[in-house]
Amino acid sequence: MPYIYPVNNIHPKMGNNCFIAPNATIVGDVVMGDQCSVWFNAVIRGDVNSIRMGNKVNVQDGAVIHCTYQKTKTIIEDNVSIGHNAIVHGCHIHENVLIGMGSIVMDNVEIGSNSIVAAGAVVLENTKIEPGSIYAGIPAKKVKDISQELIHGEINRIADNYVKYSSWFKEIE
């Protein structure tokens, strides 16, 4: 059963048709929209500040979403995929974004719509990723503009697939 727990009497709120894996952890001031999924061993900690997630956000296995006490909230807009073992901390991710596996997104980062943060990238504090970009490396730098094929073939495909995958697990809830 997932660990869903209030902090300071603030309870997490989930939208309609969300899947929360049995060993996921969601605590505190977390609000997620519809058709979201939080996968195995993922942690969403709204204990020190708020976390807001739009519709069709997937937080894949082992990912961590957190924020900084009295400084940074985490905002994740619609149609965002947070890859396996990624860390997303105190930042703003606009709609239609793919955060690659094992990447780290630090405080006060803003990621524009229709962008990709490559697997293993480290996006340093206060970085502004312009819409329609691919960032990679340590520290993450822009490697190119994103094509319409990648927006539809990767960003949208992955977000849509995770809605489908979550339906396979509805029987265990």
Half-sphere exposure of 44 (CA within 13 A, CB side): 37
Domains of the chain: 3-172 (2.160.10.10)
Main-chain dihedrals φ then ψ at residue 167, nearest 5 degrees: -65, -25
Give the mean model confidence (pLDDT) for residues 155-160. Answer: 94
pLDDT of 172 higher than 60? no
Pairing verdict, β 43-53 and 74-76: parallel
Task: Kindly report, residue by residue over 89-111, the tens digit of the pLDDT.
Answer: 999 999 999 999 999 999 999 99
Nearest to 17 by CA among 4, 45, 36, 42: 36
Q: How far apart are CA 146 and CA 154, in angstroms?
A: 11
pLDDT of 173 higher than 70? no
pLDDT number for residue 31 = 98
Main-chain dihedrals φ then ψ at residue 45, nearest 5 degrees: -110, 100
Structural contact between residues 31 and 12, judged by C-beta atoms closer than 8 angstroms: yes
